[in-house]
């Protein structure tokens, strides 16, 4: 992480701790990197409860409750799936907030419609879910790192906003 992103992570973790909020993650393309970033700060057990690595669609459906119909209609890399992932892990781990990621990190797996670097990030609370499309560039490591940074920034931005957009 860059120094600016380290500062954002520190601000996020301080905010979660101060507010007494809990956070969970459901990760596909990032393979645990969001959870690893969140637990890199001392005292993370005050806000981070855990996560689900949902790389395979069976985990998305069987553990997180993503609908088979949603997967068939929109594909694993979609706003609809990341939204259901975020809602599912928040419900499963009973947290205030949840972050979810799904995307195509590459080098293969992309298509004209969904090229390598296409990533969806979802953020859910008890009121609903908000998702954002990220078009990351670079190799697999760069796409995954950009996704982690964007997910944490999205969470910080949303939680510290005056008006909750969800």
Buried b (16+ CB within 10 A) or exposed e, 23-32: bbbbbbbbee
Print the domain residue range for 36: 3-159
Look at residue 164 and tell me if it is in a domain. no
Asked if residue 130 lies in contact with residue 158, where contact means CB atoms within 8 angstroms, the answer is yes
Look at residue 166 and tell me if it is in a domain. no
SS3 137: coil
Look at residue 108 and tell me if it is in a domain. yes
Output the average pLDDT for the chain.
94
SS3 13: helix
Look at residue 56 and tell me if it is in a domain. yes
Q: What is the pLDDT of residues 102-126, one digit of tens each?
A: 999 999 999 999 999 999 999 999 9
Look at residue 89 and tell me if it is in a domain. yes
CATH number of the domain to which 81 belongs: 3.90.950.20
Give the total number of structural domains in the chain: 1
Look at residue 142 and tell me if it is in a domain. yes
Look at residue 165 and tell me if it is in a domain. no
The pLDDT value given to residue 45: 96
pTM: 0.94
């Amino acid at each position: 992480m860059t120094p600016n992103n380290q500062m954002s992570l520190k601000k996020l973790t301080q905010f979660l701790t101060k507010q007494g909020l809990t956070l969970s993650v459901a990760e596909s393309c990032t393979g645990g990197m969001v959870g690893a970033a969140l637990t890199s700060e001392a005292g993370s057990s005050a806000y981070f409860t855990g996560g689900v690595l949902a790389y395979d669609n069976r985990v998305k459906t069987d553990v997180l409750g993503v609908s088979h119909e949603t997967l068939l209609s929109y594909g694993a890399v979609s706003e609809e799936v990341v939204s259901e992932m975020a809602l599912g892990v928040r419900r499963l781990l009973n947290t205030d907030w949840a972050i979810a990621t799904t995307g195509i990190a590459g080098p293969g797996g992309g298509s004209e419609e969904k090229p390598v670097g296409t990533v969806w990030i979802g953020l859910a609370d008890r009121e609903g879910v908000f998702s954002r499309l990220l078009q990351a560039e670079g190799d697999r490591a760069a796409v995954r790192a950009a996704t982690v940074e964007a997910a944490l920034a999205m969470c910080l931005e949303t939680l510290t906003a005056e008006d909750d957009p969800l």
